[in-house]
Chain A
Amino acid sequence: QVQLQQSGPGLVKPSGTLSLTCAVSGDSVSSANWWNWIRQPPGKDLEWIGEVSHSGNTNYNPSFKSRLSISVDKSKNEFSLNLSSVTAADTAVYYCARLGVHSDYALDFWGQGTLVTVSS
């Protein structure tokens, strides 16, 4: 069974960088699947952030493009999110998820979620 385990700080200062990691088990980040980040502000809807492939190719939501970086680490079988210049508007629960080729590119496995609060 595929499992995604998220880690990273739950509090980030304004203008700082939000960094989260998603460790994958039961699959390889070197597979044909894509590795995604999604967020959900408290009480609000889901918002796609971006994704990375096994080769390091990325697709980003234009809303974040200038301050976003998503990367993959094959040696650790994990992928990471870095979002710079954060503000209170970036306070949200952040999820990692697998976009599965065998589910016609649906988000078929998700991490547990990490609440990140941007505050001084």
Chain B
Amino acid sequence: DIQMTQSPSSLSASVGDRVTISCRASQGISSYLNWYQQKPGKAPELLIYAASSLQSGVPSRFSGSGSGSDFTLTISSLQPEDFTTYYCQQSYTTPWTFGQGTKVEIK
């Protein structure tokens, strides 16, 4: 199985901050990397697919980059509704696997 490792596991930031979350795959996965946002008690929602494509309806402050085994999710200016948990997921080969999540908390 491909292991996905996110860093950091949690971070503290303020409204308006620029935030980056990293995701590393245990082997190369080309650009088959997706990012999700999950709010408490809710299903995850797709933010970014294919490493850098913004899902329809997602605010442009979210962006993704990377290829191969190293990827980044960037939130350019944190908004109050962005304080929640983010997951990466590889869709290169089954079993699809997720990172352990990054919780973005209010400083």
Contacts and interface: CB of A to CB of B under 8 A. Distances in A.
Interface of A: 36, 45-48, 51, 59, 61-63, 95, 97, 99, 103-108, 110-113
Contacts, number: 65
25 contacts: A36-B96, A45-B87, A45-B98, A45-B99, A46-B44, A46-B89, A46-B98, A46-B101, A47-B98, A48-B96, A97-B43, A99-B91, A104-B31, A104-B49, A104-B50, A105-B32, A106-B46, A106-B49, A106-B55, A106-B91, A107-B44, A108-B55, A110-B43, A110-B45, A112-B43
Given A46-B98, A48-B98, A111 B43 contact: yes
Contacts of B46: 103, 106-108
Given A95-B43, A108-B55, A110-B43, A103 B49 contact: yes
